[in-house]
Amino acid sequence: MGKGFYISKTVGIVAVILGAGALAAIIALSVVYSQEKAKNNNNNNVLPTDGGTTLTPPVTPAPSSELWDKYRLPKSLVPHYYNVTLWPRLTADPATGLYIFTGQSTVEFECAEETDVILIHSNKLNYTRQNSHLATLTSVNPVVTAPSVKSSWLQNVTQYLVLQLDGKLAKGEMYILHTDFTGELADDLGGFYRSEYIEDGVKKVVATTQMQPTDARKAFPCFDEPAMKAVFYITLIHDSGTVALSNNEINFFSSPKENSGVKTVFHPTKKMSTYLLAFIVSDFSFISNTIDGVLIRIFARKPAIAAKQGEYALNITGPILKFFEKYYNSSYPLPKSDQIALPDFNAGAMENWGLITYRETALLYDEAFSSNSNKERIATIISHELAHMWFGNLVTLRWWNDLWLNEGFASYVEYLGAHEAEPDWNVKDLIVLSDIHRVFAVDALASSHPLSSKEEDIQKPAQISELFDAISYSKGASVLRMLSDFLTEDVFTMGLTTYLAEFAFGNAVYKDLWNHLQMAVNASDMQLPDTVHNIMNTWVLQMGFPVVTINTNTGSIAQQHFLLDPDSEGIPPSPFKYTWIVPIKWMKTGVEQTPQWLEKESSRISTKISGSDWLLANLNVVGYYRVNYDQGNWDRLLNCLSTSHQLIPVLNRAQLVDDAFNLARAKIIPTVLALNTTKYLNNERDYIPWQSSMNNLEFFYLMFDRSEVYGPMQDYLRKQVTPLFEYYKNMTGNWSKVPDGHMDQYNQVNAISLACRTGLEECQNLAKLWFNQWMETNKNHIHPNLRAIMYCNAIAAGGAEEWEFAWLQFKNASIATEAEKLRSAMACTKQPWLLNRYLEYTLDPNMIRKQDATSTIVYIANNVIGQSLAWDFVRAQWSYIFHQYGGGSFSFSNLINGVTKRFSTEFELQQLKQFKADNAQVGFGSGTLAVDQSIERTIANIKWVAENKENVLDWFKAETKSK
Ligand SMILES: *[C@@H]1O[C@H](CO)[C@@H](O)[C@H](O)[C@H]1NC(C)=O
Ligand SMILES: *[C@@H]1O[C@H](CO)[C@@H](O)[C@H](O)[C@H]1NC(C)=O
Ligand SMILES: *[C@@H]1O[C@H](CO)[C@@H](O)[C@H](O)[C@H]1NC(C)=O
Ligand SMILES: *[C@@H]1O[C@H](CO)[C@@H](O)[C@H](O)[C@H]1NC(C)=O
Ligand SMILES: [Zn+2]
């Protein structure tokens, strides 16, 4: 799946507007993880509901020995092909009000081991066969008689259809299981589900699917494990005037007897996993082209296609596909590549083989409304999903415990594919901000976990779902980038190519990839300190990462497990005692040196550092570790930053800031040293170091924006950002055009964002002027890149009139990205009554869609004035919110973390504890651990503020007085 699955929309947008509440968001992620972990340890016998959230109290596990009580399929039956016909009804049944689908399916399977029980996955399906059993069994070989069914039932907890037979299936024989069934076409975003939207005042319904990880069994009975690959013959019945799509091309149409519609019969699929299936019925239209015989189509709502919103996606898909063919040295395995934008979609996108599904914001682009950030998201997410067409789909990991390799790989190479489509963007550099720094924050906590899990620890659907986290995606991407770097890209892709060739249409485990990379290493003349396997084990089998400490006085180099909270308890033991085999690339005073490896706890650097030399390690942040130095080397680095910062590569300038702030949080270096890394920013023009600084200063805003530190901090930051603001003002001819470069476009937004935030009047006036022009002329001339930030500032400066105008525009927006920008900006108002009314709107689905309710509350809490209002609101409405919005797995922890992330006083701590006690009866569902972690975080914040407030205040004062 695309990354949107674990990075909530909330986080993405708030990050753009406020310069990233990255840490809080990341803590929220780790909270979800550990909360799921805790839950699964408790509730061994509770059926997980959709999204992996269960509100049922723990029950004592019953002793279970029957096959159907186990979550994994026995190895006795192996499917060869399925024949599935599905008929979704796009109007509700007038009697029941339900949307349903009906289906028939047959599966032909081979008996690999004698058995008298058939288990096949099935969830929330009702069986309608006209005999006494739920399914019928026949034998393929006419001389073999199939045993008859003795009893059949649905084992709801483990999600099986169970058939007990009166005799054994014979080893080596083929059998066919026939079923007829009905399911609900619910709006629950999983399995076969419906998505609704309004077009020309008319409600329209789309039937679509999201199978990964375990919801194919909600669409038809199937052996729903990734290693149970089979061929699928798919038929869809639908009204004429609608289009049916599936993984493969259409074979033929026919007219069913049952209704006046059409039957679309698809060519059989390649041998594939169930989680990659897709079926869609809609009245969408499309645009297409053909590249080297591969048909490429982009589908979306008719008005979106008419407005050419699919054009950008179509333009870049061909080149990215060609890039991956070259990269993998393997031609695209399918005859067509469809991509479709859906109004309701849970993840960012899903890599169904040949029919990729997307959120509208992840596929549709409109020059008049989309920012460069929207555009980049489209390029990277398309690239991510296309990368899966080989890595994941052609060769599939055998079981979900290796999910990190599938998602980490796609999350790494998505940058390579996007770079091919947009070579001027330098998009590859952004992995440092978007993945490495982001996941460092999670992976530095005691509650982190290793990339690799044991197969036996991942059994239940909820355990599988919880693997779709920042560790799998972003740490996976980071360590694979490091691996590709020290192997060199040639060796890396060589191993990849032979791996894909060996396991095509089959399954593998992560060690198979290491073996192929080792073969490529052996065929080269490369020298590594150990095998690929042994080096990578240290990164894959233990959680966390090292801080490498280099003492330039003594030449010693050492490593230790980096923990954000040095007092963390409960760190699990590691097979490598938290040491890593670390590749170290470094430079001395601007000159790159021969790379070195750190294999044990400590070693020595190979070059002498003397006089004014400085040493900088982890060049271009290709290594997955932080670096600390002796004070003398820090001082020389700071000096270099302030005198000639360009001698230090741009990614390392971002690294110095991020490492310093985090080493300070971990009490390894003083906070003042971290603040000193921001002193050179008045000379910095590059985006990545600025963004890194703003991410780290966000914590200071949260801790101090209601205290006496705020004024001097604002003065300091305004002083630092003013030159940047002037720089972009000149570059853009007084804001009359946007900068050419992608990074410059981003940094222009940062310049405006921080200038306005720190009260630079010229900036705020600009926001008011542009927004008023829009209100007066009804023509919006604000460039899409600047809209989110300009709307926010204009609404903050304005009153009811501005707010009402934004609301009207929000309700009438013709593209999802524009509505998103307005929805977050409306939370920026400083009028408490408007904020309170907006909070009330979140409880009315006619005002704010359910899926957007909790993120809207969090936007309001991000506003320093909205903070306490949102907290009061959540406390007052907890019971209602809990019952209305209990379904989404991330929303509760995001909500609780979002409204409490500023907490840093004893009083707030007491309120939080009271909140926990008052609602013990109602409960906190998926937010349970978030409540406890918020209490922990508040205690840590109180401590941090007590220890740092004086110093920080003095530092900001001194920095603003001195000039
Ligand atoms: C699939 O089933 C339909 C009837 O449900 C049948 O007409 C068709 O021949 C079957 N196809 C295969 C490949 O078995
Ligand atoms: C499973 O659920 C169905 C429908 O809700 C019910 O009819 C059936 O009895 C349940 N099966 C078991 C074993 O509890
Ligand atoms: C399936 O059966 C259950 C129990 O009888 C019923 O509540 C549900 O509505 C049925 N679902 C469909 C889609 O018919
Ligand atoms: C797509 O490509 C065409 C042809 O190169 C170009 O004219 C058009 O502007 C591109 N559209 C987008 C949205 O990039
Ligand atoms: Zn993915």
Please state, as a whole number, how many other Cβ atoms lie within 10 Å of the Cβ of residue 565.
Answer: 16
**Residue 407 labeled ligand binder:** yes
Q: pLDDT per residue over 234-292, tens digit each?
A: 999 999 889 999 999 999 998 877 667 899 999 999 999 999 999 999 999 999 999 99
Q: Which atom of ligand 1 is nearest to the CA of 104?
A: 5
Q: Evaluate whether residue 140 is within a structural domain.
A: yes
- The CATH number that applies at residue 205 is 2.60.40.1730
Q: pLDDT per residue over 140-152, tens digit each?
A: 999 999 999 999 9
**Residue 419 labeled ligand binder:** no
Q: How confident is the model at residue 41 (pLDDT cuts 50, 70, 90)?
A: very low
**Residue 388 labeled ligand binder:** yes
Taking residues 120-139, what's their average pLDDT? 92
Instruction: Average the pLDDT over each of 50-54, 103-107, 136-140, 631-635 and give the range with the smallest value.
Output: 50-54
Per-residue pLDDT, 258: 67
C-alpha span between 941 and 122 (Å, rounded) = 48
C-alpha span between 671 and 660 (Å, rounded) = 8
- For the chain, the domain total comes to 3
Q: Is the pLDDT of residue 480 over 50?
A: yes
- Is the bond preceding residue 670 a cis peptide, omega within 30 degrees? no
Q: Are residues 148 and 242 in the same domain?
A: yes
Question: Rounded to whole angstroms, what are the CA distances from 203 to 206, 306, 492?
Answer: 10, 19, 50
Q: Evaluate whether residue 530 is within a structural domain.
A: no
Q: Evaluate whether residue 931 is within a structural domain.
A: yes
C-alpha span between 310 and 301 (Å, rounded) = 10
Cβ–ligand 1 contact at 104 (below 6 Å): yes
Q: To test ligand 4's pocket by mutation, which of 296, 298, 315, 317 has the most ligand atoms within 8 angstroms of CB? A: 315
The torsion angle over the Cα atoms of residues 643, 716, 694 and 794, rounded to 10 degrees, is: -130
Q: pLDDT per residue over 132-177, tens digit each?
A: 899 999 999 999 999 999 999 999 999 999 999 999 999 999 999 9
Q: Are residues 747 and 887 in the same domain?
A: yes
Closest CA to 791 of 759, 755, 753, 754: 753
Angle at 797 between CA 795 and CA 802, to 5 degrees: 40
Q: Are residues 890 and 757 in the same domain?
A: yes
End-of-domain residue from the set 225, 248, 283: 283
CB 74 within 8 A of CB 111: no
Provide the sign of the torsion angle of the four alpha carbons 394, 397, 403, 407, taken in this order: negative
Cβ–ligand 1 contact at 256 (below 6 Å): no
Residues ≥6 apart with Cβ < 8 Å to 79: 107, 108, 109, 222, 223, 228, 230
Per-residue pLDDT, 891: 67
Q: Whose CA is nearest to atom 8 of ligand 2?
A: 154
C-alpha span between 513 and 497 (Å, rounded) = 10
Kindly identify the ligand whose nearest atom is closest to the C-alpha of 185. Answer: 3
Q: Is the pLDDT of residue 49 over 50?
A: no
Q: Evaluate whether residue 380 is within a structural domain.
A: no
Residue the block writes with tokens 């909530």: 8
Q: Whose CA is nearest to atom 3 of ligand 4?
A: 315
Q: To test ligand 1's pocket by mutation, which of 233, 235, 253, 258 has the most ligand atoms within 8 angstroms of CB? A: 233
Taking residues 46-52, what's their average pLDDT? 28
Q: Residue 53 Cα, ligand 2 centroid: separation in angstroms?
A: 20
Scanning 233-345, the segments in alpha helix (DSSP H) are: 302-306, 311-328
Q: Is the pLDDT of residue 934 over 90?
A: no
Q: Are residues 837 and 887 in the same domain?
A: yes
Pairing of strands 136-139, 174-184: antiparallel
φ, ψ of residue 622 in degrees (nearest 5)? -80, -20
Q: Residue 86 Cα, ligand 1 centroid: separation in angstroms?
A: 12
Q: To test ligand 2's pocket by mutation, which of 49, 155, 156, 157 has the most ligand atoms within 8 angstroms of CB? A: 156
φ, ψ of residue 180 in degrees (nearest 5)? -125, 140
Per-residue pLDDT, 453: 92
Q: pLDDT per residue over 868-882, tens digit each?
A: 999 999 999 998 888
Q: pLDDT per residue over 548-594, tens digit each?
A: 999 999 999 999 999 988 888 889 999 999 999 999 999 999 999 99
Catalytic residues: 385
Kindly identify the ligand whose nearest atom is closest to the C-alpha of 6. Answer: 5
Q: Whose CA is nearest to atom 10 of ligand 1?
A: 83
The SS3 assignment for 750 reads helix
Q: Is the pLDDT of residue 32 over 50?
A: no
Scanning 524-592, the segments in alpha helix (DSSP H) are: 532-540
Tokens of 229: 């690959």
Per-residue pLDDT, 886: 57
Per-residue pLDDT, 129: 80
Strand partners, 117: 164
Please state, as a whole number, how many other Cβ atoms lie within 10 Å of the Cβ of residue 860.
Answer: 27
Q: Which residues surround ligand 5, an ion (CB under 5 A)?
A: 1, 407, 410
C-alpha span between 176 and 139 (Å, rounded) = 6
Q: Which atom of ligand 3 is nearest to the CA of 182?
A: 13
C-alpha span between 665 and 682 (Å, rounded) = 24
Q: Whose CA is nearest to atom 9 of ligand 1?
A: 83
Provide the sign of the torsion angle of the four alpha carbons 761, 767, 770, 774, taken in this order: negative
The torsion angle over the Cα atoms of residues 23, 24, 30 and 34, rounded to 10 degrees, is: 150
Q: Which atom of ligand 2 is nearest to the CA of 156?
A: 1
Closest CA to 432 of 420, 440, 421: 440
Q: Are residues 830 and 798 in the same domain?
A: yes
Q: To test ligand 1's pocket by mutation, which of 83, 178, 220 has the most ligand atoms within 8 angstroms of CB? A: 83
Q: Residue 234 Cα, ligand 1 centroid: separation in angstroms?
A: 9
Residues ≥6 apart with Cβ < 8 Å to 891: 8, 853, 854, 855, 885, 926
Q: Are residues 700 and 654 in the same domain?
A: no
Q: To test ligand 3's pocket by mutation, which of 96, 98, 99, 126 has the most ligand atoms within 8 angstroms of CB? A: 126
Q: What is the model's pTM?
A: 0.91
Cβ–ligand 1 contact at 269 (below 6 Å): no
End-of-domain residue from the set 283, 311, 345: 283
Question: Rounded to whole angstroms, what are the CA distances from 397 to 327, 513, 515, 622?
Answer: 20, 10, 15, 26
Residue type, 481: R
Q: Are residues 698 and 630 in the same domain?
A: no
Q: Which atom of ligand 3 is nearest to the CA of 184?
A: 13
Q: Evaluate whether residue 16 is within a structural domain.
A: no
Q: pLDDT per residue over 539-557, tens digit each?
A: 999 999 999 999 999 999 9
Taking residues 901-922, what's their average pLDDT? 94
Q: Whose CA is nearest to atom 12 of ligand 1?
A: 83
Q: Are residues 681 and 651 in the same domain?
A: no
Tokens of 219: 């669409």
Q: Residue 250 Cα, ligand 1 centroid: separation in angstroms?
A: 15
End-of-domain residue from the set 613, 641, 669: 669
Taking residues 790-802, what's their average pLDDT? 96
Cβ–ligand 1 contact at 85 (below 6 Å): yes
Question: Rounded to whole angstroms, what are the CA distances from 362 to 343, 352, 743, 806, 816?
Answer: 11, 15, 20, 23, 10
Kindly identify the ligand whose nearest atom is closest to the C-alpha of 154. Answer: 2
- The CATH number that applies at residue 679 is 1.25.50.20
Q: Are residues 795 and 700 in the same domain?
A: yes
Q: Is the pLDDT of residue 385 over 90?
A: yes
Q: Residue 165 Cα, ligand 1 centroid: separation in angstroms?
A: 25
Q: Evaluate whether residue 747 is within a structural domain.
A: yes
φ, ψ of residue 543 in degrees (nearest 5)? -80, 170
Q: Residue 453 Cα, ligand 5 centroid: separation in angstroms?
A: 18
Element counts in the chain: helices (H) and strands (E): 30, 31
Q: Which atom of ligand 1 is nearest to the CA of 268?
A: 13
C-alpha span between 61 and 47 (Å, rounded) = 12
Boundaries of domain holding 580: 545-658+662-669
Q: Are residues 566 and 701 in the same domain?
A: no
Q: Whose CA is nearest to atom 1 of ligand 1?
A: 83
Question: Helix, strand, coil % (nearest 5) of the chain?
Answer: 45, 20, 35
Element (H, E) at 588: strand 586-588
Q: Are residues 173 and 196 in the same domain?
A: yes
Cβ–ligand 3 contact at 100 (below 6 Å): yes
Kindly identify the ligand whose nearest atom is closest to the C-alpha of 365. Answer: 4
Q: Which atom of ligand 2 is nearest to the CA of 126?
A: 4
Q: Residue 182 Cα, ligand 2 centroid: separation in angstroms?
A: 15
Q: Are residues 746 and 603 in the same domain?
A: no
Residues ≥6 apart with Cβ < 8 Å to 115: 74, 76, 77, 168, 169
C-alpha span between 687 and 429 (Å, rounded) = 11
Residues ≥6 apart with Cβ < 8 Å to 645: 653, 680, 683, 684
C-alpha span between 963 and 957 (Å, rounded) = 11
CB 85 within 8 A of CB 237: yes
Q: Which atom of ligand 1 is nearest to the CA of 233?
A: 13
Angle at 606 between CA 601 and CA 607, to 5 degrees: 135
CB 558 within 8 A of CB 602: yes
The SS3 assignment for 279 reads strand
Closest CA to 605 of 555, 646, 541: 555
Per-residue pLDDT, 233: 98
C-alpha span between 388 and 391 (Å, rounded) = 5
Using CB atoms within 10 A of its CB, is residue 906 exposed (0-12), middle (13-18) or buried (19+)? exposed
Pairing of strands 355-359, 349-350: antiparallel
Cβ–ligand 3 contact at 102 (below 6 Å): no
Kindly identify the ligand whose nearest atom is closest to the C-alpha of 385. Answer: 5
Cβ–ligand 1 contact at 345 (below 6 Å): no
Residues with CB under 6 A from ligand 2: 153-156
Most confident of the following: 53-67, 187-201, 413-427: 413-427
C-alpha span between 705 and 941 (Å, rounded) = 14
Tokens of 536: 């990578």
Residues with CB under 6 A from ligand 4: 311-312, 315, 365
Q: Residue 852 Cα, ligand 3 centroid: separation in angstroms?
A: 29
Q: pLDDT per residue over 653-701, tens digit each?
A: 999 999 999 999 999 999 999 999 999 999 999 999 999 999 999 999 9
φ, ψ of residue 126 in degrees (nearest 5)? -105, 135
Q: Residue 126 Cα, ligand 2 centroid: separation in angstroms?
A: 10
Taking residues 772-777, what's their average pLDDT? 96
Q: Which atom of ligand 4 is nearest to the CA of 365?
A: 13
Per-residue pLDDT, 63: 54
Cβ–ligand 3 contact at 192 (below 6 Å): no
C-alpha span between 356 and 388 (Å, rounded) = 10
Using CB atoms within 10 A of its CB, is residue 49 exposed (0-12), middle (13-18) or buried (19+)? middle
The SS3 assignment for 114 reads coil
Q: Residue 842 Cα, ligand 1 centroid: separation in angstroms?
A: 49
CA 855 to chain centre: 16
Q: Which string of b and e fits 7-45 if b means at least 16 CB within 10 Å?
A: bbbbbbbbbbbbbbbbbbbbbbbbbbbbbbbebbeebee
Q: Residue 83 Cα, ligand 1 centroid: separation in angstroms?
A: 6
Kindly identify the ligand whose nearest atom is closest to the C-alpha of 122. Answer: 2
Provide the sign of the torsion angle of the four alpha carbons 184, 185, 187, 188, taken in this order: positive
C-alpha span between 578 and 199 (Å, rounded) = 57
Provide the sign of the torsion angle of the four alpha carbons 895, 899, 900, 902, taken in this order: positive
Q: Evaluate whether residue 352 is within a structural domain.
A: no
Q: Which atom of ligand 3 is nearest to the CA of 96?
A: 9
CB 21 within 8 A of CB 796: no
- The CATH number that applies at residue 653 is 2.60.40.1910
Q: Evaluate whether residue 929 is within a structural domain.
A: yes
Helix 761-777 / helix 742-757 crossing angle, nearest 10 deg: 100
C-alpha span between 311 and 288 (Å, rounded) = 9
Cβ–ligand 1 contact at 82 (below 6 Å): no
